[in-house]
Structure 1
């Protein structure tokens, strides 16, 4: 038994040594012991390489607008560990987190004595989440983000009311497969018998895999591009404006505050998801609540402006697709600005190509590292860059403060911090706390 929240969280983080162990046997064992709390929760299951968190945020805000009690499970966290398990956008309390750990811990110790072995950090957090939403505070609907992949992901033991696959790109290839089709097959593992699935996957080979899986399982499938159309997309200062059209509905002049063309796809998925559930009498959200909720939606660390003078954007792009979306958004919203990139990444990412692409829009490139077991050294990142105007520092605070000082009062300069969600989480918290001091 733990008496302190800090000790409980340290215990969870101590499970990192068990790494990633794909498979559902430990989850099935733990949840059976706990009385299957996951069976009590109407769930929308979201998988994809990028865009999961933003799509969940759009749905959350629309459902909140309609006065639903909404649970969310997302990762990684940006400000506090507790935000991974949230109710109506508010992280659960330290007391709830402590109680969940104390309830789950004896079962973790028990399973460790079996052939199944010790559960991972993610398996434990997922078990705690199902326990919380199944027994402690049951929501009207749970928006559930996969951790990695889908088929063998710890979250994939539920029978959802709807599945969403945002997109498929090259990420976690050491676990999910080396081809787009293999990765798509893992993501498609969340599709369930007779339950509808929505996707914004564009690559033909990936989309075909998902459609085949849906057909096998008699699951209705709607796809952005062929069934869900995004029209009249334009940029305005705070975000994007666009129209979503299908055979059965039309939402004109939708506005979102999250910037980027990729965000219109995430928003279109969210709108279509709620409309489909409305059609099937699973949820009731009015058109007015869809418009209002969509506009209110924000997701920390996704092309988010955290400082005005100089303008600082933090973006959690950490793979090829994320970087391409970041470049497209920066080019659309800051066509006449000098862009200065501050970059850090994990060792297991293919960061050379990410650096090369970012260099194409950057006036200057700057590299650093941060306190994380898998973070790459700043000098190695610097060496991978061919840009003429470049620098590095092993202290990200030092490098960031230098850039802030350099571009203070410069209206034509924008600093973009990117490369890893873990990294931008630290930078964001630092800048937000400085703003408050």
Structure 2
């Protein structure tokens, strides 16, 4: 056995390379073949998109569970522990199961090296995680597994499946250096999850790239189900919102940020398509509504306190932060309070554009998380260091800001999932001490 503790494994995992010399799927396919191709032993749903793919994945996973299905979920990043990456029926993989599949992948990797006489064969970090997830879901005889892509689509290491349904939530600018640089390049990359004669659900897609997706749908003899055309969100932002499917089925759901309504709608549309193929698992509207309303998506519009309101969200690109600030400013205005924000970002993100979204009256504190890619003080443009304050330690900054809030105010923690995770870990430790 290679690994005997989770820490031993994660230390190894995070010292693996992040990229191969070639951006293709040959390495992951060789490894999965050695494992007996577990990705083909489970029905899957493949979810990509610039934003919203995590929330959509969680919503769909809960719908499947409510329908009595043994449901796997593979998502990133994790917020509290690595085990969140690979879930079964809403619960993170146990430490013992994690070590079992981690060692199984290690042994398969060693076997490929020996059989192919290729001593240099190895996996990058994300490939190792993907292989573990597929092996685990196969071992647990999952009825369905919801698979969130890492980056992009066509060349993503998860793109070794033929899903029952694909979902493309949004298309915007992010990871331009890897799958860009243009939004058209990004659309072509994400269209890679569309498979032959398998339906695809599409969310808020810019008009400028719809033609690219329509072409891919036609090439694959697929069928596209478009938000605003084949299913709709009605009354978004009011006392409730309604998801309406083309069949006439409607779902009345609790209010939530507008972008989350679209994610829930895509999950419902995808679930409806799955039910058409498997009528035995269909849900009454009330049960489906409960599945959506009960879903908590870690680190995404996560409200940990109502008055004063404290919201944690890992928004880290222009589109996601724009949506988040639209929600946060609306909440602050309705409460007649002020928006306060603790922001930590990665230095390879569009820092200038994201920070420019804040309003002049917002109280913003910049910070740095303990991570190699994290933006440090010198990585923030000088004009924002003049405009905002800077506190190197995020927990110190959070405590100071939270303690000074008026009841009407809203505190937003955002800019990266690493910052959200750091704050939630501290809060969890603090709560544990009290108990």
Task: Provide the TM-score with structure 2 as the length reference.
Answer: 0.93
User: Which residue is 2:126 aligned to?
Assistant: 122
Deviation at 1:57, TM superposition (A): 1.3
Deviation at 1:139, TM superposition (A): 1.0
Instruction: Provide the rounded CA distance (Å) in 2 between the counterparts of 1:82 and 1:421.
Output: 16
Unaligned runs of 5+ in 2: none
User: Which residue is 1:133 aligned to?
Assistant: 137
Q: Is the 8 A contact 1:347 1:375 kept in 2?
A: yes
Instruction: Provide the rounded CA distance (Å) in 2 between the counterparts of 1:355 and 1:115.
Output: 47
Deviation at 1:306, TM superposition (A): 1.8
Deviation at 1:247, TM superposition (A): 2.8
Per mean C-alpha deviation after superposition, the further-off stretch among 379-388 and 150-159 is 379-388
User: Which residue is 1:406 aligned to?
Assistant: 404
Q: How many residues align?
A: 426
C-alpha RMSD over aligned residues? 2.0
Matches within 5 A, 1:226-245: 226-236=229-239, 241-245=240-244
Matches within 5 A, 1:120-199: 120-134=124-138, 136-199=139-202
Q: Residues 243-288 of structure 1: CA distance to partner in whole angstroms, max 9, x if unpaired? A: 12233123142225xx311111111101111112222336423322
Q: Is the 8 A contact 2:347 2:379 kept in 1?
A: no
Deviation at 1:405, TM superposition (A): 2.5
**3-state SS of 2:76 partner:** coil
User: Which residue is 2:356 aligned to?
Assistant: 356
Q: 1:213 to 1:310 in 2, by over 3 A?
A: same
| Aligned with residue 419 of structure 2, among 405, 414, 423 | 423
Q: Is the 8 A contact 1:370 1:423 kept in 2?
A: yes
Q: Is the 8 A contact 2:101 2:136 kept in 1?
A: yes
| Aligned with residue 297 of structure 1, among 295, 300, 315 | 295
Instruction: Provide the rounded CA distance (Å) in 2 between the counterparts of 1:308 and 1:246.
Output: 33
Instruction: Provide the rounded CA distance (Å) in 2 between the counterparts of 1:20 and 1:246.
Output: 44
Instruction: Provide the rounded CA distance (Å) in 2 between the counterparts of 1:193 and 1:202.
Output: 21
User: Which residue is 1:287 aligned to?
Assistant: 285
Deviation at 1:216, TM superposition (A): 0.7
Q: Is the 8 A contact 2:338 2:410 kept in 1?
A: yes
Per mean C-alpha deviation after superposition, the further-off stretch among 113-122 and 331-340 is 113-122
Instruction: Provide the rounded CA distance (Å) in 2 between the counterparts of 1:319 and 1:75.
Output: 16
Instruction: Provide the rounded CA distance (Å) in 1 between the counterparts of 2:415 and 2:148.
Output: 21
Q: 1:98 to 1:361 in 2, by over 3 A?
A: farther
Instruction: Provide the rounded CA distance (Å) in 1 between the counterparts of 2:337 and 2:282.
Output: 44
Q: Residues 366-404 of structure 1: CA distance to partner in whole angstroms, max 9, x if unpaired? A: 01101101001035326241774x210111122112212
Q: Is the 8 A contact 1:2 1:8 kept in 2?
A: yes
Q: 1:366 to 1:198 in 2, by over 3 A?
A: same
Q: Is the 8 A contact 1:242 1:255 kept in 2?
A: yes
Q: Is the 8 A contact 1:382 1:391 kept in 2?
A: no
Task: Provide the TM-score with structure 1 as the length reference.
Answer: 0.92
Deviation at 1:209, TM superposition (A): 1.1
Instruction: Provide the rounded CA distance (Å) in 2 between the counterparts of 1:203 and 1:377.
Output: 33
Q: Is the 8 A contact 1:341 1:362 kept in 2?
A: no
